[in-house]
Amino acid sequence: PPIDPMSVTFRSATGGMSPSGPVLSRRMSDLEGLFADTAAWQEARDGADPVVYEVASSPVPEAPGELPQSITTIHPGAVGGEFHMTKGHQHPNPQGEIYFGLSGTGGLLLFDGTTPKWIPMSPGVIGYIPPGWAHRSVNTGDEPYRFLAVYPGDAGHDYGWVLEHGMGWRVRRGAGEPQLVPFQSE
């Protein structure tokens, strides 16, 4: 059923939304196969198994014509030097998506299967994901990195594509700027 016009309040202290739809929590144990250093990932999983990121969704449904929104919070940290990140996905029904930086420092890694791109993200930055580009978010700072995502309700989410093709680069902690390392060199 269509939903009524509505406003949603962003809870800046927690990254939550009010009113809220589902809130999803991804722990280290949910992120098998993501990080290059498997031993470091296993150690983190078998230890505290920390929450790496959370996704709060607005009540707008994932249905054709609608524009669902979500706020992702990636907690700071790294696994074997590789920054905390989202799983990453493709939209099987290729359509654009908008990200808007809310707090903290991070980046948007995009991959079309040939060429990776990196968009540094901070509060106030709009990152645009064109149709057909897989995308992953990375926290490159030492506080929670938060952003709003707005996407077409019938875009769909394909997580297998990234597991198969990678994202072109890995994002590692460097002396200053984050290091973008070719995926194949791991």
Query: Which of 88, 99, 106, 170 is closest to 143 using CA atoms?
Result: 106
Identify what 140 binds: ligand F6R, Zn ion, none; CB under 5 to 8 Å per kind.
Answer: none
Q: Which of 31, 35, 88, 138 binds ligand F6R (CB under 6 A)?
A: 88
Query: Which of 81, 85, 78, 102 is closest to 150 using CA atoms?
Result: 102
Q: Which of 8, 15, 17, 70 binds ligand F6R (CB under 6 A)?
A: 70
Q: Which is nearer to ligand F6R, 50 or 174 (CB)?
A: 50
Alpha helix positions (H), 26-174: 38-46, 160-165
Prior bond to 19 cis, omega within 30?
yes
Q: Which of 87, 100, 122, 163 binds ligand F6R (CB under 6 A)?
A: 87
Q: What is the CA radius of gyration of the chain?
A: 16
Q: Tell me which residue has its CB nearest to Zn ion.
A: 97
Binding-site string for ligand F6R from residue 107 to residue 136, where x marks contact by CB under 6 A and - marks none = ----------------------------x-
42 touches 29 (CB < 8 A):
no
d(CA 93, CA 13): 34
Min separation Cβ 177 and ligand F6R, Å: 22
Please report where in the chains the tokens 């890995």 appear, as a residue.
170
Identify what 70 binds: ligand F6R, Zn ion, none; CB under 5 to 8 Å per kind.
Answer: ligand F6R
Judged by the rule CB under 6 A, the positions of this chain that interact with ligand F6R are 55, 70, 72, 86-89, 97, 135, 137, 149, 151, 157
